[in-house]
Amino acid sequence: MAFCVHCGQMQGDGIRFCRFCGGQQPGDQLIARLRIEAEAVRYQVQQMQAQQIQYQQQQQQQQQQRGW
């Protein structure tokens, strides 16, 4: 199931033009590319979160060492 990128109406799979607004839909290649980009972004976010957790843990360790 897919949704029109222009008007958001529900569309059948594999259609090229929206039957509601006539807007052209992204092709399979574009969708595949967007999916890869989304994966890359998700990976970056995970890396950032991991770094943030690491940083927080380091801060906590430093505070413990100072006797807080």
Interacting residues with Zn ion (CB under 5 A): 4, 6-7, 18, 20-21, 23
Q: How far is the CB of 36 from Zn ion (least distance, A)?
A: 25
CB nearer to Zn ion: give 19 or 42. 19
Q: Is the dihedral of CA 40, 45, 50, 54 positive or negative?
A: positive
Q: Which is nearer to Zn ion, 7 or 31 (CB)?
A: 7
Closest distance to Zn ion from the beta carbon of 27 (Å): 16
